[in-house]
Structure 1
């Protein structure tokens, strides 16, 4: 029940400040429409005639990263209002606090990804693996958001103010986005950059989402491998966030 209360409190804050939702989706939407239109003609050979379908997975991940990044502001706002410390001294499990705020970012990420999918229909995007492929995209977005939101929660407790937080998170999000296969295929990349892209976990999420959109069948073995990797990362980021929250209690 405590987790649901924290979740509802965070969601209520988000919808009381709809600009936070709007801003996280406007930039990716611009990328989806303008970049696909500009670069689409030269990239048709790798996107089976529709470059928008090719970059859509990367844009969905970008939306998720931006949404989770913005969720870290909740801690700074609660600290400025004093409610952060009131929650800490309340008889609530620390895991419920972390889980509630983490699930808020997950819910918003799923909503915004759904919006991107609906908008992509008007850009002639077709999910080749059908309804099953569409359903399997949900857990991929879920674990991506859960991992990133836990990481953002921990980072927001490490950094002293929201200005530094915004700077650091912009650097992290953009680095993860561009050091991936979001915009270009792996086969055209070599050397150290290829290694950096390969060790970027979001590369594999993007590739899995892309396979569900462009592929004719589902590679269950690879899909389960990627999901297993991110489930481990989710546990790691949650543990880190919980540890940082516990350290706030000690202060």
Structure 2
């Protein structure tokens, strides 16, 4: 697993543009959109709008980083290394975990850069060290789930063009049908139902409560943790099943 993880990390840093591209759009959202919409949101009672949208932008970064991780499968298939790994004496779980954890590590790197930028806008974690530990856990679970999903989808599709099209069709609705940019309380009707059906709504809300709230609300954080623990297990199982189908 570590060898595969290291192989993918080397590829990523030999192609740093893959990191820059996935980070550029979220940085624009964080800096420009918060500056443009910040004054309007202050009239709605939101003091630091950059801190308010940071959880949603972090999720956007994770989605983009994990989506780019799926491209590795197409590159490996093109140069033949994908099939060499399949016949090597390596367990299937190590192959899957090695690639998934690479996407998780890149997600953490990009979130760290995003967080460093947000400190210039007076963003802090009001819930302290306990809140920071929970934020790290939630980021890991979000990235692990999404990396397993993108791994599975990349093995399902014939080429990277179709893959990128499908992932854009998934990521954009996830982002916009969530409280990433606006308060959940202001929604109603069918739009609110759609937002509430989005599991990333609960991750964003949990991250927001940890950043803005001084108290860790266990009753709010625990259900989200359990939900994404189940989703992570399902994502990993799906990735394992798709890899097994590749060998049949």
Q: Which TM-score band (shorter chain)?
A: over 0.9
- TM-score with structure 1 setting the length: 0.97
Residues 47 and 92 of structure 1: is their aligned pair in 2 closer, same or farther, counting only changes over 3 Å? farther
Q: After superposition, where does 1:138-177 map in structure 2 within 5 Å?
A: 138-177=136-175
Aligned counterparts of 1:24 and 1:46: Cα–Cα separation in 2: 31
Aligned counterparts of 2:147 and 2:169: Cα–Cα separation in 1: 16
Aligned counterparts of 2:110 and 2:45: Cα–Cα separation in 1: 24
Q: After superposition, where does 1:45-56 map in structure 2 within 5 Å?
A: 45-46=43-44, 48-56=46-54
Look up the match of 2:38. 40
Q: Which runs of 4+ in 1 moved over 3 A?
A: 45-48
Q: Is the 8 A contact 1:46 1:185 kept in 2?
A: no
Look up the match of 1:90. 88
Look up the match of 1:112. 110
Q: After superposition, where does 1:171-190 map in structure 2 within 5 Å?
A: 171-190=169-188
Aligned counterparts of 2:38 and 2:125: Cα–Cα separation in 1: 18
Post-superposition offset of 1:220: 1.3
Residues 47 and 32 of structure 1: is their aligned pair in 2 closer, same or farther, counting only changes over 3 Å? farther
1:231 matched to 2:229? The reply is yes
SS of the residue corresponding to residue 72 of structure 1 reads helix
Q: After superposition, where does 1:115-126 map in structure 2 within 5 Å?
A: 115-126=113-124
Which runs of 5 or more structure 2 residues have no equivalent in the other structure?
Answer: none
Which runs of 5 or more structure 1 residues have no equivalent in the other structure?
Answer: none
Residues 48 and 216 of structure 1: is their aligned pair in 2 closer, same or farther, counting only changes over 3 Å? farther
Q: Deviations over 1:147-179 (max 9, x none)?
A: 000000000001110000001101111110001
Look up the match of 2:70. 72
Give the length in aligned residue pairs. 248
1:222 matched to 2:224? The reply is no
- TM-score with structure 2 setting the length: 0.98
Further displaced range: 76-85 or 214-223: 214-223
Post-superposition offset of 1:124: 1.5
Q: Is the 8 A contact 1:180 1:202 kept in 2?
A: yes
